[in-house]
Structure 1
């Protein structure tokens, strides 16, 4: 039986420029699989490090955390240490290793995609489901290009037009891949304030709301709406997303957005806190038809 990745013992993944490569979903999956095999052998990171020609335990930690590329020579030595001798299993794991090392489609956008966005993009492409809430702006995967451009210009007033163009292009690619090529389910709790306090003016907001109405019947998207008025609405979770994966890939991961970057929460207690908060938010939100009606009302106000 193949090893399944254990829940990561790491509590917070904070991506800073000096922290090496951004962890991608495929590297995290393979790293978690290696960790599971190591722990099944009752070995510590330093034990594995000694077997790799005396490298540091921190290298093993980075490999298992998905922030380090995998050399096949190192991986084969770990297979020997962990007693992975079955030819089919070794071939399967080497396939995972090569996939983890493969360049992603967004490599050409690294100049406009910070590390937390690189990781985010990889997670959204492999997740079975994304549960998200944003209060300051619309969720990236449902934005029109005009809305994205206005949003970026508002947040980055000094950015060169070429930089803004590339950011818009990158988000367009993400949205296209999600809508046309992905199997990921999206559960989006929309905050009404993002409709009344928009970006880009009336025409931009009208096109954006029409786009939301077009996506309303998408088979993989579920919309809910938090009203702008009301008491005791549990919005304290703030802008965040919960990524759910297949059982043989990764445990759930939470992304929490902050002013100067994002945090990825991986430990069970933190994830459970966000899942419960999101459940409360869904209960407080208007359901499908009420949400669609409110979108239609806003479309009329922008005409």
Structure 2
């Protein structure tokens, strides 16, 4: 997204009002670029004092359509945007151009489209937010986060699911592509991880796969873009009740921070500011109580040299 389009998304925060938890399983996936456009339109609607019901009446559409547009669940059409210009009194040519650019970006086919037939809906949402976020905080108690996995580890973990052989390889390829795109992003994009020591000791694949995974983590820990700490398994006082959590933070205030929790057959997206803030604080407490970066590397090297996976 261009800097001009990001600025058009503005400081508007439509997600402040009302609690919002979205369960994603089979429904239309919210897209981060579409949410940026919806965020901008919602901010404009709020600024001129209109409710969604008012906009729906003026559009001759349902309230649910207006809501889906503002939450990034609706494909945007050029004629819709022209009507919004009239209703929202957007007469400045520059502002119109900025919103058109946001709409153009929102309607582009995402790079992961070739995998849409095998990737579950909640995974597509994860990739969308992950792609646009500037900082990603992750705690996974059961397995390593996808952005840290070696290909061998990913293949062994995905093999335990319900996908067939061809789907498994496609999902592995998608995971590797996600990692490549993260590596090629700007230096300001960071991954902040707390690894549960139990997940490091849970074996996926052969001993060789696990050893390679540990060596991979040791290498990543030397990269300033990967901030990795281990929550020790034998510490009874660690605040691990947070559970599986990902928090996406976006630059230029294009979107409010979003939290995510994966469940067995889908995912929960948290957009309410208070709920997200609680998860951020819980994550920071866990991170602060975990091993230091130096202690984390020492623990990884100990696991790699101890023959634990033989």
- Tell me which interval the TM-score lies in, with the shorter structure as reference length: over 0.9
Residue 29 in structure 1 maps to residue 42 in structure 2: no
What corresponds to 2:4 in structure 1? none
What corresponds to 1:174 in structure 2? 178
Q: TM-score, normalised by structure 2?
A: 0.92
CA distance in 2, matches of 1:111, 1:235: 34
CA distance in 1, matches of 2:158, 2:98: 42
Name the SS of the counterpart of 2:256 in structure 1.
coil
Query: Which of 249, 273, 280 lines up with 1:275 in the alignment?
Result: 280
- Structure 1 segments, 4+ long, off by >6 Å, are none
CA distance in 2, matches of 1:222, 1:289: 11
Contact kept? 1:13, 1:265, Cα under 8 Å: yes
CA distance 1:260–1:160, shift in 2 (3 Å): closer
CA RMSD of aligned residues (A): 1.5
Query: Which of 214, 220, 232 lines up with 1:209 in the alignment?
Result: 214
Query: Which of 25, 35, 38 lines up with 1:16 in the alignment?
Result: 25
Q: How does 1:178-257 map to 2 (within 5 A)?
A: 178-182=182-186, 183-257=188-262
For structure 2, the 5+ residue unaligned runs are 1-6
For structure 1, the 5+ residue unaligned runs are none
Contact kept? 1:134, 1:240, Cα under 8 Å: yes
Shift of 1:122: 1.0
CA distance in 2, matches of 1:13, 1:181: 28
Aligned residues: 298
Q: Deviations over 1:215-236 (max 9, x none)?
A: 1121211011101101211000
CA distance in 2, matches of 1:245, 1:181: 14
